[in-house]
Structure 1
Amino acid sequence: MRARWLVLLGCLGIVAVLGLVWAIGHTARPSLPVVLAIVTGVVGLAVVPWTRLAVSRLKAEDEAYQVLRRVVEITILAALAGVGLTLVIFGDSQATAGVMIIAIFSAGALALLGAVVLPWIFLLTRTVTRERAARVRAEERSAMAAHLHDSVLQSLTLIHKRTDDPEVRRLARTTERDLRAWLYGSVQGQDDLVSAVTTVVSEVEDLFAITVELILVGTCPMDQKSEAVVGAVREALTNAAKHSGVQRVSALVEVTGEEVFALVRDRGRGFDLSAHASDRRGVVDSIEGRVRRQGGTAVIRSDVGAGTEVELRMPT
């Protein structure tokens, strides 16, 4: 709203300048102090709002703001010096009034040019330079990422798949994950579902030396419902790592407009649900109970020798 009022005042000032120009050519000249007061007020009304608007926009840009201040200070000093010298040399005369009007108008024009136009040109030039440098850095980073992907990452993946040593496999997987995060960027913290699930998967992989093939579709902010899903996914992955007997587990987490859907699957030894109905408290409490308390559903499917699936649905 303040910017809108400044623009309105600036436009009124320009109209006032046009009216003053017309009055100079069509009316009699008043006394010199009156001329000085009228011209100064009208030019100030035309210049000060635009200058204030530029100041409010450029305060965050220190270099451009310093340019603006210097221009305004020099313009004010030049206008005062011109008016003072004119009064000293010519006194109160028709020529004095004309020179004073020209000096004040010239100072106003220079202030508009220097305080409004030049800093914005300065910012535009610097922005173009920064964007060009950023584009060059992005191209260099992309080329480096492609090279590392074709060499180091492929080697780490091959080591991870071929070695039987759990420690070597864990080191290769951790190094690969860190390198991918550095090359392609990663979300840090627990502010959304994607970052939380990614953190859980990383922890389970490092703790149990398994590989989790994770697919993420969409995300949402963390709340009690999302935390329940993340906790249930962690428990499902932990159970798969402990009891399935396989080194590779798949996980899918999808966020739609209506629900959060998660599926954890392994192709391990599985178990008989009916035979374990009375002693599977970890599944009941940590997966089914956690999701059900927040209004969601959990379905566990397992067959001996065919693996286990844990399906979670949480309405958003």
Structure 2
Amino acid sequence: MGTRGLIVLGFLGLLGFGALWWAIVHTPRPSLPVVVVIMLAVVTTTVGPWVALAHRKVRHDDEAGGLSRAAVATAVVIAVGGIAVAVAFRGDLSSPTVMLSVFAAGGIALVGAAVFPWLFVTTRMLARERAARARAEERADLAAHLHDSVLQALTMIQKHAETTEVRKLARGTERDLRAWLYGRQPVAGTDFAAALTATAEVVEDTFDVVVELVSVGTCELDARSRAVVGAVREALANAAKHGGVPRVSVFAEVTEAEVFALVRDRGRGFDPAVHAGSGRRGIADSIERRMRHEGGTAVIRTMVGEGTEVELRMPVGRP
């Protein structure tokens, strides 16, 4: 039964409990078996739905679930004990004892198995949220402080260091610090954005350039998205080797329709006609052919002295 159905049944049980109380006060008392059956039915209908709703909330919490089961067991013991006492005495005390025990059992089940576990879980959840919020605020303050001090210092070292090893060390330290501050990144072997980040890091360390990467959205790596990563890697390597610039920018975006990437540098550029006649096949094979083989496109825009742009588009999904 759904949550709405349990709530409706619970309110119907409360109305039945009110009707039973009116009947006890204003009508003659029936026989003991009838009293027991009616009270058990009404109390079960009143308490059962709320206990079931609470159980759905606390079923994954072992501690709260244990409290709920203990309360239900106590209620059952009280109810059975009261009925046993009533049957054993067989006197005028029988019916009041039965009613008292059944009503007490219902109250214990309602409070102990429904209300208290729900309040217990809710209170602990609020406490955890407050603690998590406090930790997040502390982490944000620390990140802001380190960004204004250590990360900026590492950036300055990269710009003004005279040796490649110093710049490489500064870049690696900056990456490690950013990863620690902003959380663990997805695995490069399964995530497109993470694979782009890893590719940019390899190009930075190999060619001593800065890759400014902006990535929007991500997807799982498959043959098509791997082709985009490979083409980006080749475009970055070409820019680093032949562009004569200290930094290269990459923008990547994953939408429902396609994977898009744009690699841009403001370096030397080249004449496409001269490049085609030179016999070099890096762009044709590693970028254009790779993209075309998986159903994508690659557009190279360049001019001598104006830099180069490599625009990659790959449809998402099966051909």
Tell me if both proteins adopt one fold, taking TM over 0.5 as the criterion: yes
- RMSD over aligned Cα atoms: 2.4
Are 1:51 and 2:46 an aligned pair? no
Are 1:228 and 2:227 an aligned pair? yes
Number of paired residues?
314
Are 1:159 and 2:157 an aligned pair? yes
Are 1:199 and 2:168 an aligned pair? no
Q: Is the 8 A contact 2:85 2:97 kept in 1?
A: no
Are 1:284 and 2:284 an aligned pair? yes
C-alpha distance 47-257 of structure 1, shift in aligned 2 (>3 A): closer
Match of 1:168? 166
Q: Is the 8 A contact 2:74 2:105 kept in 1?
A: no
In the TM superposition, 1:1-316 aligns within 5 A as 1-3=1-3, 6-88=6-88, 90-93=89-92, 95-190=93-188, 191-256=190-255, 258-278=257-277, 279-316=279-316
Unaligned runs of 5+ in 2: none
For residues 124-169 of structure 1, what are the alpha-carbon distances to aligned partners after superposition, in whole Å with 9 as ceiling and x for unaligned? 2111211111121112111211221122111111111111211111
Measure, in 2, the Cα distance between the counterparts of 1:291 and 1:36: 78
Measure, in 2, the Cα distance between the counterparts of 1:263 and 1:39: 74
Measure, in 2, the Cα distance between the counterparts of 1:254 and 1:133: 35
For residues 63-85 of structure 1, what are the alpha-carbon distances to aligned partners after superposition, in whole Å with 9 as ceiling and x for unaligned? 11111122222222233333444
Unaligned runs of 5+ in 1: none
Measure, in 1, the Cα distance between the counterparts of 2:257 and 2:69: 55
Measure, in 1, the Cα distance between the counterparts of 2:153 and 2:268: 30
1:221 to partner: Cα distance: 4.4
Q: Is the 8 A contact 1:291 1:314 kept in 2?
A: yes
Q: Is the 8 A contact 1:17 1:42 kept in 2?
A: yes
Higher deviation after alignment, 267-276 or 114-123 = 267-276
Measure, in 1, the Cα distance between the counterparts of 2:131 and 2:119: 18
Give the letter for the 1:97 counterpart.
S
1:298 to partner: Cα distance: 1.4
Give the letter for the 1:80 counterpart.
V
1:237 to partner: Cα distance: 0.7
SS for the counterpart of 2:213 is strand
Measure, in 1, the Cα distance between the counterparts of 2:245 and 2:270: 14
Higher deviation after alignment, 65-74 or 294-303 = 294-303
TM-score by length of 2: 0.87
Measure, in 2, the Cα distance between the counterparts of 1:142 and 1:63: 33
1:292 to partner: Cα distance: 2.0
Q: Percent identity?
A: 55
Q: Is the 8 A contact 1:32 1:92 kept in 2?
A: no
Q: Is the 8 A contact 1:250 1:266 kept in 2?
A: yes
C-alpha distance 254-52 of structure 1, shift in aligned 2 (>3 A): closer
Q: Is the 8 A contact 2:244 2:268 kept in 1?
A: yes
